[in-house]
Amino acid sequence: MAHRTLLLLHTLILASVLLVPRSGWAQSTKEREARIACLAGDYARGVRLLSELFVSTKMPTFIYNQARCFEQNRRYEDAISRFREYLRVAKDISGIELADTNKHIAECEGLLAAERPSPVPASPVAQPVPASPVAQPVPATEAGSVAVRQPPPAAGSSGLRTGGIATASVGGAALIAGIVFNLKSNSLARDIKKTDGFTSDKESDRKTYATLGWVGYGVGATCIATGAILYLLAQRSENNATVAFLPLLATGQAGAALRGSF
């Protein structure tokens, strides 16, 4: 009787083992392998196993475990992405689970910011210190005389010279144009004097060329004269005066003389 009871018990145990779903057994094995891989630093294999489990079961918990696997291996950017994906996929999580997930996100963001190097402020560039002006010795024009330095030629003298040259150049061009127009007018006049050479159009063109010729002569002469005047004014402005103070010493006498040229 005892033998039969023992045999029946072994049969029941074997039957219970055979009735365990194979899928559940495989899932438990994958979860264990994924946990070992994440703790051992092989986050790539651990995340892959958890991805297979999520595809098979559609359980958001495996996405959360992926985030934890990344977080344990200091992959904070990937962890933040997985935690946010978990919040998007998991629809019926409790307030405690939501707070816990947001806490992990905040911790990952803080650790990620601490790992990033802070920008190094640019060192100020030292500005060169301007050198103190060195007083130049004043040359003596004569023994015992003190020369008075005159200012350099005014900048306007250079402008007057340039303006004079430019104005005279325009005048030369106007004179050449007047000559060309006058030649055209004379040529038309000779054509008109020929037999059957007169036409109203030729006469009108002759008058126009003649007028332009005289205008060219007038403008050219005026510009050349104006340019010459400007050039002369520039020359005069550069002739600055030189003044010297001369002490006069003689037996029983003392004095001074002022000499200058303009």
CATH of the domain at 66: 1.25.40.10
Q: State which amino acid sits at residue 32.
A: R
Q: Pick from 97, 113, 129: which residue ends a domain? A: 113
Q: Is residue 45 part of a domain?
A: yes
Question: 238 and 185 in one domain?
Answer: yes
Question: 160 and 109 in one domain?
Answer: no
Q: Is residue 126 part of a domain?
A: no
Q: Is residue 174 part of a domain?
A: yes
Q: Is residue 203 part of a domain?
A: yes
Question: 158 and 85 in one domain?
Answer: no
Question: 95 and 33 in one domain?
Answer: yes
Q: Is residue 16 part of a domain?
A: no
Question: 177 and 102 in one domain?
Answer: no
Supply the pTM of this predicted model: 0.39
Q: Is residue 123 part of a domain?
A: no
Cβ(181)–Cβ(213) under 8 Å? yes
Q: Is residue 74 part of a domain?
A: yes
C-alpha distances out from residue 93 to 29, 89, 103, 164, 218, Å: 26, 10, 15, 92, 100
- d(CA 19, CA 24) in angstroms, rounded, equals 11
Question: 159 and 109 in one domain?
Answer: no
Per-residue pLDDT of the chain (262 residues; tens, 9 = 90+): 555 554 554 454 444 434 444 456 678 898 999 999 999 999 999 999 999 999 999 999 999 999 999 999 999 999 999 999 999 999 888 999 999 999 999 999 999 999 887 766 666 666 666 666 655 654 544 444 444 444 455 556 677 778 878 888 988 998 899 899 889 889 888 888 877 777 888 789 989 989 998 898 898 899 898 888 887 877 776 665 444 445 555 555 555 454 554 4
Q: Where are the alpha helices (DSSP H) in 2-42?
A: 2-19, 22-39
Q: Is residue 68 part of a domain?
A: yes
What's the total number of domains in the chain? 2
Q: Which range of residues forms the domain containing residue 65?
A: 25-113
